[in-house]
Amino acid sequence: MFLTIPDILTAEDVERVRQKAGSLDWRDGRSTAGRSARSVKENLQADMKSELGQGLHEFLLNAISSNLAVKSIARPKRFSRLLLSRTQDGGHYGHHVDNALMTADSRKMRTDLSFTLFLSDPDIYEGGELSLVTAAGDFAAKPKAGSLILYPSGSIHEVKPVTSGVRLACVGWIESRIQRADEREILFDLEGVREALPKSAREQKLVLDKTVSNLIRMWAR
């Protein structure tokens, strides 16, 4: 799964986030990388512990976690702390795999899905594509600001070098209530079928509601 969800943030929200991000303190991004990833990571990350950072974190997390598409696709149980990443001057994040376990609210969480919320318009920086290695080939994305890319945390992926301009993005991880990707896909497909039915198909919608609910009972962790 490598999905683009547009309009997580409006253009006005993106601009406000960028302005506030400019007032944050930034540090070497390698401080949050796993042991094997440190050697391929070259970016800056914002210190989100200040009052401004905490407010920005709350705003971004609320926008992401309340999005209907994110909820339907990911079935979130828990979100990690968010990171704000700034990449420029040839910075990049080479091929790596995200940590299987992370700390969230003083507890360990399993990382099922990773996401990148793009905060820079693609025409203001060169390079910086998010690239995912799959059995069907490499997929690369560089969507408009306010769009979110959702992908499996266990996949090999990279951020291509930013050769000019500045790439600003918010990244984070989700532990899903439905651990298996194929089961999440079945639920997502069934809900899509339900939404496509006409309003008059009440009995069919009720049967689909029952089926989705029972599958969640079977699969939820």
3-state SS track over 85-146: EEEECCCEEEEECCCCEEEECCEEEECCEEEEEECCCHHHEEECCEEEEECCEEEEECCCCC
Residue 119, CA atoms < 13 Å, CB-side half-sphere: 26
Domain that residue 86 falls in: 3-176
Are 147 and 200 in a shared domain?
A: no
- Are residues 96 and 66 both part of a single domain? yes
- Among 176, 193, 208, where does a domain finish? 176
Largest CA distance in the chain: 58
| pLDDT at position 141 | 94
Euclidean distance between CA atoms 151 and 108, whole angstroms: 20
| pLDDT tens series, the chain, 221 aa | 689 999 999 999 999 999 999 999 999 988 776 666 778 999 999 999 999 999 999 999 999 999 999 999 999 999 999 999 999 999 999 999 999 999 887 789 999 999 999 999 999 999 999 999 988 888 999 999 999 999 999 999 999 999 999 999 999 999 999 999 999 999 999 999 999 999 999 999 999 999 999 999 999 98
Please give the pLDDT value at position 34. 66
Is residue 8 exposed (0-12), middle (13-18) or buried (19+ Cβ within 10 Å)? buried
* Structure confidence at residue 9 (pLDDT): 98
Do 149 and 215 share a domain, yes or no?
Answer: no
- At 36 the pLDDT is 67
Long-range Cβ contacts of 213-218 (<8 Å, 24+ apart): 215/183, 215/186, 215/187, 215/190, 216/75, 216/177, 216/178, 216/187
CATH number at residue 33: 2.60.120.620
pLDDT at residue number 211: 97
Tell me: do 116 and 169 sit in the same domain.
yes
Domain count, the chain: 2
User: Are residues 41 and 86 located together in one domain of the fold?
Assistant: yes
Q: Tell me the whole-structure pTM to 2 decimals.
A: 0.93
CA pair distance 155, 111, nearest whole angstrom: 11
Give the span between the Cα atoms of 80 and 121, in whole angstroms: 25
Do 186 and 208 sit in the same domain of this protein? yes
